[in-house]
Amino acid sequence: MATPMAPRSTFAIFLILLLRSGHSPAAAFYLPGSYPHRYRPGEALAAKVNSLTSPSSKLPFPYYSLPFCEPQGGVNRAAESLGELLLGDRIETSPYRFSMLKNATAFLCRTDPLPPATADLLMSRIDDAYHVNLLLDTLPVVRYVKNLAAPGVFVRSTGFPVGVRADDGEYYVYNHLKLTVLVNKPRNGTTRAEALMATADAVELISFAGGNKDGGGYTVVGFEVVPCSVEHDAAAIKGKKMYDELPARAAAGCDPSVVGMRVRANRPLVFSYEVAFVESGVEWPSRWDAYLEMGGAKVHWFSILNSLVVVAFLAAILLVILLRTVRRDLAQYDEHGGEAGLAPQADELARWKLVAGDVFREPAHPVLLCVMVGDGVRILAMAVATILFAALGFMSPASRGALVTGMLGIYLLLGFAAGYAAVRLWKMVRHGDSAGWKRVAWRASCAFPGAGFAVFTALNCVLWYNGSTGAVPFLLFAVILLLWTFVSVPLTLAGGLVASRVGHLEYPVKTNKIARQVPAAQCSPWVFVAVAGTLPFGTLFIELLFIMSSLWLGRVYYVFGFLLVVMALLVAVCGEVSVVLTYMGLCVEDWRWWWRAFFASGSVAAYTLGYAVYYLVFDLHSLSGPVSAALYVGYSLLMALAVMLATGAVGLAASFAFVYYLFSAVKLD
């Protein structure tokens, strides 16, 4: 009989798996229910197309907005998830069709002569570096180009350019694709992943798509492209129909360094492709490694080490405060018998004890504070849950948009946490009086979602006006509103109702009827609050660079194991910074600590926003057009607001726990 694993060993293995998932994420992707599709020799494969995207313009456009060949049966939209629609993906059928293991060179189509407006649009898309994104068996097409800075090194990127502008100023379109499909055939009929998918007591393995009960067939493990601009031989393509075989000499000029198909008004374009199947040793569970492999693992470890140093430094300060200063002051306070006996020695003893009758006084603008904390708890919980699920592989990149869909669903369900946290804090600042909790819960359900929806709507109108696929359809808008109305709002109110009926937390000291006058400070405490944000930002900024590159430069970010550890360290730093500043304020007899505790850690948002501006100026210098800049600024402001609410909630919670513990040890007559 197997003995149960010790809890400490289980935690260690869990942490190793999380970090391993950050370093090699593909190993965690293939969960039960995610099966490979096997293709028999000669079976049809059909590539799909996604929206045209550009690194310099953040406006995706439909693939068929340009004069490309359409499939014979017409263009059909693929079923898309909520996340795909929000990301601007528009997946459609394409004319690129192959047969498994059958190499071919095929003619696609000859377009009508290009009207001047269409030719100008095509040249504009080439100027803006728009890329074509093909998909085969959910795998994006990959292009390898030589790195000019390092000869012999190839740079991998997804998609390929629509065309190129040559040195002579003429525009050329990539009209011929050399496609390579990498396939794998399991040696023993099944892969290790397929064997793991079978149940423990199964007699035989699960039958996969295609009806291959014998376990035969090939899986697609790679999809590569070399785009070419070829001036086809007029005689070779005369009378050709779609998918007619072309002689090899028809595309003999396919050299990426040579261009031939010029874009001119009133002149047609000719498209063709060739496909070759290559057997690969890459197994199906590892086929995403080429896409998700991220360099700079040492940088991520450095980020974690840097954060650990900051956490240890702040923890040492707190240790000194708690073990030396506080315990010593409490001993002296008890020895002198409270505030009356303390006055003569006020200069010698720490003065935080003098504000015992005011420290739990209701802060200014209590409703706003409660609403912000409630929304912050919701955002923080959503981030932790999403990162945890992604690190464990529940949000596979093969399921496009799964991350955004999961994030939205988790956010809606966490409305209960927002309402509970907001009303719970409301009762505490009101000393047990829950009157007005409905107003607090309602505002918590509307505050951040309302701000986000307002920014999202404004930017979506801009995308609508420009005809971008990034614009969310009106029907999806209605769905989001219905989800907020019938899921988020009721859950937030339910959380508030539960919190209003929970027993009140009794404060360890009584609050005086008359507020104590706060002595004039030599330096504004808000200066320390502004400076305090540098410590949490120092924990976050390295990972923030990778996240920004993923959002705005199209690079892949899937090291969620590292991100989860950094998130935990960020929470620790935010709590420690807030506690230190709260104690410093109490030591100068300033009992107004509530808002300072919130912004001591929440001020990291200002540095995050500043870094976003720096990133726009120095790393996104290729960003073109006011529309792209508006998208960047709008979403950066929304991100900074979310960071402020989440980190502020952590700081206030840590400071409240510290103040409650501190004054619980004070004995008053």
> What tens digit of pLDDT does each residue of 417-427 get?
999 999 999 99
390 occurs within a structural domain: yes
Residue 248 has pLDDT above 80, yes or no: no
Q: Residues 299, 267: one domain?
A: no
What per-residue confidence (pLDDT) applies to 184? 92
Indicate the residue among 506, 538, 562 that finishes a domain.
506
In angstroms, rounded to a whole number, what is the distance separating the alpha carbons of residues 632 and 552? 8
Q: Residues 151, 283: one domain?
A: yes
Q: Residues 266, 131: one domain?
A: yes
Q: Residues 176, 313: one domain?
A: no
Residue 4 has pLDDT above 50, yes or no: no
Q: Residues 150, 96: one domain?
A: yes
- Show Cβ contacts of residue 666 under 8 Å, excluding neighbours closer than 6 positions: 330, 333, 353, 356, 508, 509
What per-residue confidence (pLDDT) applies to 294? 59
The mean pLDDT of 255-284, rounded to a whole number, is 88
Residue 189 has pLDDT above 60, yes or no: no
What per-residue confidence (pLDDT) applies to 16? 43
What per-residue confidence (pLDDT) applies to 341? 43
What per-residue confidence (pLDDT) applies to 149? 63
DSSP string, 290-317: HHH--S-HHHHHHHHHHHHHHHHHHHHH
32 occurs within a structural domain: no
Q: Which of 247-256, 306-315, 374-383 is predicted most confidently?
A: 374-383
In angstroms, rounded to a whole number, what is the distance separating the alpha carbons of residues 37 and 44? 12
E strand or H helix that includes residue 128? none
Is residue 326 very low, low, confident or very high in pLDDT (cuts 50, 70, 90)? low
Is residue 196 very low, low, confident or very high in pLDDT (cuts 50, 70, 90)? very low
Q: Which of 82-91, 104-113, 384-393, 440-449 is predicted most confidently?
A: 440-449
546 occurs within a structural domain: yes
- Show Cβ contacts of residue 70 under 8 Å, excluding neighbours closer than 6 positions: 64, 95, 109
- Show Cβ contacts of residue 595 under 8 Å, excluding neighbours closer than 6 positions: 363, 364, 369
Structure tokens at 237: 């393509």
Residue 213 has pLDDT above 90, yes or no: no
Structure tokens at 505: 């937390």
Q: Residues 388, 403: one domain?
A: yes
The mean pLDDT of 391-405, rounded to a whole number, is 79
What per-residue confidence (pLDDT) applies to 498? 96
The mean pLDDT of 386-397, rounded to a whole number, is 83
Range with the poorest average pLDDT among 211-215, 240-244, 287-291, 480-484: 211-215
Structure tokens at 131: 């890329």
What per-residue confidence (pLDDT) applies to 557? 74
Residue 561 has pLDDT above 70, yes or no: yes
Asked if 251 contacts 273 with a C-beta cutoff of 8 angstroms, the reply is no
Domain count, the chain: 3
Q: Residues 498, 563: one domain?
A: no
Q: How, if at all, do strands 270-279 and 176-184 pair?
A: parallel
What per-residue confidence (pLDDT) applies to 136? 93
What per-residue confidence (pLDDT) applies to 289? 80
Q: How far apart are the first and last CA of the chain?
A: 61
Is residue 342 very low, low, confident or very high in pLDDT (cuts 50, 70, 90)? very low
pTM metric for this prediction: 0.83
In angstroms, rounded to a whole number, what is the distance separating the alpha carbons of residues 103 and 362? 76
61 occurs within a structural domain: yes
197 occurs within a structural domain: no
Of 138, 46, 136, whose CA–CA distance to 94 is shortest? 46
Is residue 195 very low, low, confident or very high in pLDDT (cuts 50, 70, 90)? very low
Which residue type, as a one-letter code, is found at position 58? K
**Number of other residues whose CB lies within 10 A of the CB of residue 382:** 23
Each residue of 313-323: pLDDT tens digit? 777 877 777 66
Residue 369 has pLDDT above 80, yes or no: yes
Residue 214 has pLDDT above 80, yes or no: no
Is residue 12 very low, low, confident or very high in pLDDT (cuts 50, 70, 90)? very low
Alpha helices (runs of H) in 414-524, residue ranges in sequence order: 415-429, 437-465, 474-483, 489-501
Residue 19 has pLDDT above 60, yes or no: no
13 occurs within a structural domain: no
202 occurs within a structural domain: no
Q: Residues 429, 418: one domain?
A: yes
> Which carries the bigger pLDDT value, residue 73 or residue 651?
651
Is residue 467 very low, low, confident or very high in pLDDT (cuts 50, 70, 90)? confident
Of 476, 487, 344, 501, whose CA–CA distance to 401 is shortest? 476
Provide the angle, in degrees to the nearest 10, between the axes of the packed helices 604-618 and 626-664: 160
> Which carries the bigger pLDDT value, residue 558 or residue 593?
593
What percent of the chain clears pLDDT 90, i.e. is strictly above it?
42
Residue 138: phi and psi, rounded to 5, are 70, 0
Is residue 119 very low, low, confident or very high in pLDDT (cuts 50, 70, 90)? very high
In angstroms, rounded to a whole number, what is the distance separating the alpha carbons of residues 523 and 525? 6
E strand or H helix that includes residue 23? helix 7-23
Indicate the residue among 292, 310, 341 that finishes a domain.
292
CB-based burial label for 274 (10 Å; 0-12, 13-18, 19+): buried
Each residue of 70-93: pLDDT tens digit? 998 889 988 777 888 888 888 999
> Which carries the bigger pLDDT value, residue 163 or residue 339?
163
Q: What is the mean pLDDT of the chain?
A: 82
In angstroms, rounded to a whole number, what is the distance separating the alpha carbons of residues 285 and 393? 12
495 occurs within a structural domain: yes
How far is residue 661 CA from its own chain's centroid? 37
Eight-class DSSP state of 591 = -
> Which carries the bigger pLDDT value, residue 46 or residue 236?
46
Number of H helices, E strands in the chain: 21, 14
> Which carries the bigger pLDDT value, residue 645 or residue 210?
645
Q: Whose structure tokens read 């006058």?
A: 517
In angstroms, rounded to a whole number, what is the distance separating the alpha carbons of residues 656 and 533? 19
Residue 477 has pLDDT above 90, yes or no: no
Q: Residues 97, 223: one domain?
A: yes
> Which carries the bigger pLDDT value, residue 27 or residue 285?
285
Q: Residues 223, 301: one domain?
A: no
Q: Residues 477, 577: one domain?
A: no
How far is residue 417 CA from its own chain's centroid? 21
CA distances from 224 to 18, 29, 208 (A): 31, 22, 25
Structure tokens at 571: 């929470």
Residue 181: phi and psi, rounded to 5, are -105, 115
Q: Residues 615, 483: one domain?
A: no
In angstroms, rounded to a whole number, what is the distance separating the alpha carbons of residues 443 and 438? 8
Q: How, if at all, do strands 154-158 and 142-146 pair?
A: antiparallel
In angstroms, rounded to a whole number, what is the distance separating the alpha carbons of residues 27 and 20? 9
CA distances from 2 to 196, 341, 474 (A): 21, 64, 57
Beta bridge partners of 355: none
What percent of the chain clears pLDDT 70, i.e. is strictly above it?
82
Is residue 409 very low, low, confident or very high in pLDDT (cuts 50, 70, 90)? very high
Identify the domain containing residue 548 by its residue range.
295-332+525-668
What per-residue confidence (pLDDT) applies to 337? 54
In angstroms, rounded to a whole number, what is the distance separating the alpha carbons of residues 237 and 104? 15
Asked if 317 contacts 535 with a C-beta cutoff of 8 angstroms, the reply is no
Asked if 462 contacts 513 with a C-beta cutoff of 8 angstroms, the reply is no
E strand or H helix that includes residue 154? strand 154-158
